[in-house]
Amino acid sequence: MNYSPTQLGSDSMHEVSTHPVAHQHTAPTGFIRKYVFSLDHKVIGKQYYGLALVSVFIGMVLSWLLRIHLAYPDYHIPFLSKLSAAGAPGGVMTPEYYLSLLTMHGTLMVFFVLTNAPFAAFGNYFLPIQIGAEDMAFPRFNMMSFWTTFAAFVVMMASFFVADGPPISGWTAYAPLSAVGRDAGPGLALGQDLWAISIAIFCIASLLGALNFIATTLDLRARGMSLMRMPYSTWAWFVTSVIALLAFAVLLPACVLLILDRVAGTSFFIPAGLVLSDRLQPHSGGSPLLWQHLFWFFGHPEVYIAILPSIGIVATILPVFTRRPLLGPKALIGSMVAIGFLSYMVWGHHMFVSGMNPFSANIFSIPTLIITIPATIMTLLLTASLYGAKMRFDTPALFCLGFISVFISGGISGFYLAQPSLDTYLHATYFVVAHFHFVMAVASLFGVFAGTYFWFPKMFGRMMSESLGRWHFWLTFLGVYCVFMPMHYLGLVGNVRRYSAFVDDYLAPLLPVHRFITIAALLTGAAQLIFLWNLIWSRFRGPVASENPWEATSLEWSTTSPPPFDNFGGKHPVVNHGPNELGVDGPDGTDFLMQTAAPKSS
């Protein structure tokens, strides 16, 4: 049923539209339709955010347990034996339980946090609004995407409660360890099946979501919203969706093949002649390297799926607080597209020492190093945009600055790993752990924090506490460096990763460094409770927010806080400017022009 435009008629900011718009559904009634099975992209965005929030806290607690066990192996962790009597008798983790918690930590964080929060959550909420649409192109697909993701989450969490516990093969689930079944060790029976099923379901959800984002971006932009006038965050979500469409389309069949090897006796990934648990395995003809190729063909683009939206969010937010446009809008967008394109050429850099022909290492190394160029361009554009500005240092801005710093740190360590001659030493050490935590766990998450503090007023109509936000920022910024910078040094010593205990001769002297990291991790984790409290408290008690408290330019700030059901109250915005009109003469003595402001008189 069509939603008819209101009687206000048209003006330079709005119009009665003949332009294609998404008015496929009416305002919902009833609690279930409004808040549970909602077709409204804003509700779905919040649902994704909520799921990501739950996942990140579980993932964080898991990391605490891992770090405590590493630094204090004899310590009896209270309540852990209640979570798993077999996994942690008396509160001391068994080696297999450590690995299963590690697997779940990585899986939850990469899939349910870093794909959900910056991309699915904020993208769902703000992509349609930023392009001036009433909703996504396919609201029903959108609802299905979320609930399918939720189903994947439930299946994943179920692995905690089966007899053998979650799988122990890491979030990368290399075959044949993950493929032969229970003979390979504890946790590799039902837990691994549930993992593979959950990820397959997650792939389906992500594919639906990606399709939706692409169709919406291409077809539902308001009048005047050319592609080059889209905010950087929208560009980032769009490029990420294209990446996601191709990447998840490869992971899904990979998981299906894995499940078949496990339950149907196929041998996609298992060669002949393997003996596990003193039993000759009844498989032959498969290739473990095939799993690695399929997985990393997804896995590398996946990490760009995790970081690009945050880059877009930071690029959108930073100018609002420097009160001037970002330097080089075309270069930034071009870099995002270049990264998206190059991300498909580098997967073999996870496999330099995998036993693949060593010559291929040279081949994969080149695009891996080349991808540094657009990443450097973006970092420099963000940094140079600060030059000569006078900044407003509200919390969103602080997290943008923090993002740039940690992205530099994470990017630099990538430079080492991109070179096969160095990777031969650094592969599978804590150097790698430092690298991906800096770029994913920290940089990407800083983008999410910046987005949260920035968009919370729009989503909930209330401001978050600025002082709590500052505490959160300073403690987190210092804390993450204390946690992850020392891991580079551990990597240089050759400290191997995914070890549940450090018993080797050369590892035992490193325990004091691990203790420092553990304590820093616990303190930094505790600082996140400030954020959680801020979210909850501000939701109900925060000061009421105006329509545009930050004086930003993009379309979400031209509607109410929170927006009405169809985003613009029956009006369809007409766009006359890009998002970069900051530091210009605006109406009423302001220094900016919103995208819907009247065109500049020539």
Partner 1 sequence: MNRKLLCLLPAAAVIFYAVKAGAGAPIPPPAGGAISGKVTYTGTPPKMKPIDMSKEPTCAKQHTTPVMTENVTTGPESSLQYVVVYISEGDSGGAAPAETVRYDQRGCQYLPHVLPMQAGQVLQIFNDDQTSHNIHPLAKVNPEWNKSQPAGSLPIDTKYDKPEFIPVKCNIHPWMHGYFVVLNTSHYAVTGPDGSFSLKGLPAGKYTVTAWQEQYGTQTQEVTIGATETKTANFTFKALPY
Partner 2 sequence: MGKVFAVLVTLITLVSIAFFVMHTWWLPPNISTTGKAVDHQLEETLIGTGVLFLAGQLMLGCFAWMASGKAKDARAKRFPGGATSIVVAAIVVVGIEIFTLTFVGSKAWGAIYLTPAEPGSLRVDVQAEQFAFYFRYPGPDGQFGGLHPDKIDDGSGNYFGLDPANDVAARDDIVVGSLVVPVDRPIALSLHSKDVGHSFYVRELRMQVDFVPGLNIPLHFTATQAGKYEIVCTQLCGLGHYNMKAYLEVMSEPDYEQWLKTQAGQ
Rounded Cα distance, 164 and 187, in Å:
5
In whole angstroms, how close is the CB of 183 to partner 2 at the nearest point?
Answer: 9
In whole angstroms, how close is the CB of 349 to partner 2 at the nearest point?
Answer: 13
Closest CA to 331 of 418, 235, 406, 237: 235
Site map 480..509 versus partner 1, x via CB under 8 A: ---------------------x-x-x----
What is the SS3 string spanning 103-168? HHHHHHHHHHHCCHHHHHHHHHHHHHHHCCCCCCCCHHHHHHHHHHHHHHHHHHHHCCCCCCCCCC
- Measure CA 193 to chain center: 24
275 binding partner 1? (CB under 8 A) = no
Q: Segment near partner 1 (CB under 8 A), from 34-42, 53-61, 87-95, 521-529?
A: 87-95
**35 or 474: whose CB is closer to partner 2?**
474
Helix (H, G, I), strand (E, B) or coil at 357: coil
In whole angstroms, how close is the CB of 192 to partner 1 at the nearest point?
Answer: 16
**6 or 284: whose CB is closer to partner 2?**
284
393 binding partner 2? (CB under 8 A) = yes
Partner from partner 1, partner 2, none binding residue 86, C-beta < 5-8 Å depending on class: partner 1
Ramachandran area for residue 496 (φ above 0: left; ψ -120 to 50: alpha; else beta): beta
Contact 189, 128 (CB under 8 A): no
Partner from partner 2, partner 1, none binding residue 90, C-beta < 5-8 Å depending on class: partner 1
**92 or 492: whose CB is closer to partner 1?**
92
Sites for partner 1 among residues 182-221 (CB under 8 A):
185-186
176 binding partner 2? (CB under 8 A) = yes
Burial of 485 (0-12, 13-18, 19+ CB in 10 A): middle
Nearest-10 crossing angle of helices 288-322, 232-263: 160
**123 or 367: whose CB is closer to partner 2?**
367
Closest CA to 349 of 416, 432, 439, 417: 417
Q: Which of 16, 158, 260, 331 binds partner 2 (CB under 8 A)?
A: 331
Q: Which tokens in the block code for residue 474? A: 């300073």
CA distances from residue 144 to 36, 115, 207, 322, 402 in whole angstroms, order as listed: 12, 16, 11, 39, 35
Helix (H, G, I), strand (E, B) or coil at 178: coil
Closest CA to 371 of 428, 432, 303, 430: 303
Q: Which tokens in the block code for residue 395? A: 């919390």
Other CB atoms within 10 Å distance of the CB of residue 512? 9
Site map 261..290 versus partner 2, x via CB under 8 A: ---------xxxxxxx-x-x-----xxxx-
Partner from partner 2, partner 1, none binding residue 365, C-beta < 5-8 Å depending on class: partner 2
Rounded Cα distance, 370 and 257, in Å:
33
Partner from partner 1, partner 2, none binding residue 92, C-beta < 5-8 Å depending on class: partner 1
Q: Which of 46, 262, 349, 427 binds partner 2 (CB under 8 A)?
A: 427
In whole angstroms, how close is the CB of 253 to partner 2 at the nearest point?
Answer: 21
In whole angstroms, how close is the CB of 278 to partner 1 at the nearest point?
Answer: 6
Q: Which of 30, 78, 90, 589 binds partner 1 (CB under 8 A)?
A: 90
- Measure CA 322 to chain center: 26
Closest CA to 348 of 368, 332, 328, 375: 368
Partner from partner 2, partner 1, none binding residue 508, C-beta < 5-8 Å depending on class: none
CA distances from residue 187 to 86, 155, 269, 275, 283 in whole angstroms, order as listed: 11, 15, 19, 18, 21
CA angle 112, 117, 120 (to 5 degrees): 90
Q: Segment near partner 1 (CB under 8 A), from 38-46, 91-99, 309-317, 555-563?
A: 91-99
Q: Greatest CA span in the chain, whole angstroms?
A: 83
Q: Which of 215, 370, 519, 598 binds partner 2 (CB under 8 A)?
A: 370
385 binding partner 2? (CB under 8 A) = yes
Partner from partner 2, partner 1, none binding residue 89, C-beta < 5-8 Å depending on class: partner 1
Q: Which of 3, 72, 89, 345 binds partner 1 (CB under 8 A)?
A: 89
359 binding partner 2? (CB under 8 A) = yes
94 binding partner 1? (CB under 8 A) = yes
Sites for partner 2 among residues 59-118 (CB under 8 A):
94-96, 99
**187 or 486: whose CB is closer to partner 1?**
187
515 binding partner 2? (CB under 8 A) = no
Binding site for partner 1 (CB under 8 A): 74, 86, 89-90, 92-97, 185-186, 277-278, 501, 503, 505
